[in-house]
Amino acid sequence: MAKEFIQLPSRDSLGTINLNRSVFSTIATNVIDETENVQLFEGSKPFKGGVQTRIEDNQLWLTVPVRIQYNTNVTDICASLQNQIFESISYMTDYKPESIEIEVVGFLF
């Protein structure tokens, strides 16, 4: 069943930490904003846009639709972006996502 948050394992008996899925979307959006030649795809109302997060059984899946500059190496940029998002989420939340999918939905001219 899909949930709105991830519960991190407790290191002590003082309590638990729950992270909302918007935390992960915000981190991924910040990484994209800092990356050259890449822009997050923001669709209009009938079309989905932005970072999509799914949480099931305390595991996180991210789908990131982007547009990439037309004269760049798409494979290298997608691999770098995927790695940067993974490292940022791991560093900031101490949680490792199950999957990060980069979807190229268009090009920037």
pLDDT tens digits, 12-24:
778 888 999 999 9
Contact 52, 73 (CB under 8 A): no
**pLDDT for residue 14:** 82
Measured CA to CA in angstroms, residue 97 lies from 43, 49, 58, 86, 92 at distances of 24, 20, 10, 7, 12
Count up the domains in the chain and report the number. Answer: 1
**pLDDT for residue 42:** 82
In a domain, 4, yes or no: no
pLDDT tens digits, 47-56:
566 899 999 8
In a domain, 28, yes or no: yes
In a domain, 51, yes or no: yes
Backbone angles phi, psi at 13, to 5 degrees: -95, 20
Ranges of the chain whose pLDDT falls below 70: 1-2, 44-49
Containing domain of residue 72, as a range?
Answer: 15-108
In a domain, 24, yes or no: yes
Q: How many CB atoms lie within 10 A of CB 78?
A: 18
CATH number at residue 54: 3.30.70.1350
